[in-house]
């Protein structure tokens, strides 16, 4: 299983702009919280896409605007005078593999009827 491409866009942005936060999630075995954060960003981006399409933007324009505003803003810490060091590649691969394994497990549970139900996401924004 693979992460949604839009979630991966934000995760890649985090590797470059918030490496210490991702490393903290990884080292403290709290990738479920990272997964929730990615889901929240994705939901926010999709809401923006829907709003922009209602206002007349094309699908491509709306997705591009959402990516630039929410998923991978260009004004992140990586663009500052003192950018953080990108999360090491080995840690990036661990994070991706663990998130994909969690997602695959949830999908398997759902398919077997043991999960949270077909209508609910495995992760949510928790009111944020």
Tens of pLDDT along 75-108?
Answer: 999 999 999 999 999 999 999 999 988 877 665 6
pLDDT of 38-52, one tens digit each? 999 999 999 999 999
In a domain? residue 56 = yes
Question: Is 123 a domain residue?
Answer: no
Question: Does an H or E element contain 41, and which?
Answer: helix 31-54
Is residue 115 scored above 60 in pLDDT? no
User: Which 8-state DSSP code applies to residue 121?
Assistant: -
Domain carrying residue 95: 5-111
Query: Total domain count for the chain?
Result: 1
| Helices (runs of H) and strands (runs of E) counted in the chain | 5, 0
User: Residue 128 above 90 pLDDT?
Assistant: no
Instruction: Report the Cα–Cα distance between both ends of the chain, in Å, rounded.
Output: 27
pTM of the predicted protein model: 0.80
DSSP letter (8 states) at residue 79? G
Residue 124 has pLDDT above 70, yes or no: no
pLDDT of 113 strictly over 80: no
DSSP letter at 67 equals I
- 60 domain-assigned: yes
At 37, the pLDDT band (50, 70, 90 cuts) reads very high
| Residue 55 Rama label (left phi>0; alpha psi -120 to 50; beta) | alpha
User: How many CA atoms are closer than 13 Å to the CA of 95, on its beta-carbon side?
Assistant: 28
Using only C-alpha atoms, the chain has a radius of gyration, in whole angstroms, of 16
The two tokens of residue 112 are 């077997």
In a domain, 124, yes or no: no
Count of C-beta atoms within a 10 Å radius of residue 25? 21
Does any domain span residue 70? yes
In a domain, 117, yes or no: no
Average pLDDT of the chain to the nearest whole number: 85
Instruction: Give domain status of residue 122, yes or no.
Output: no
119 lies in some domain: no
- Residues 14-26, mean pLDDT to the nearest whole number: 97
């Amino acid at each position: 299983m693979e992460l949604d491409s839009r979630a991966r866009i934000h995760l890649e942005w985090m590797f470059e702009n918030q490496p210490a936060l991702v490393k903290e999630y990884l080292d403290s075995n709290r990738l479920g919280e990272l997964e929730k954060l990615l889901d929240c960003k994705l939901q926010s981006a999709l809401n923006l896409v829907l709003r922009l399409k209602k206002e007349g933007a094309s699908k491509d324009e709306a997705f591009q605007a959402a990516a630039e505003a929410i998923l991978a803003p260009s004004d992140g810490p990586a663009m500052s005078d003192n950018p953080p060091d990108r999360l090491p590649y080995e840690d990036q691969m661990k994070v991706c593999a663990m998130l994909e394994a969690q997602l695959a497990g949830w999908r398997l549970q759902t398919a077997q009827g043991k999960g949270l139900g077909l209508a609910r996401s495995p992760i949510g924004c928790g009111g944020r």
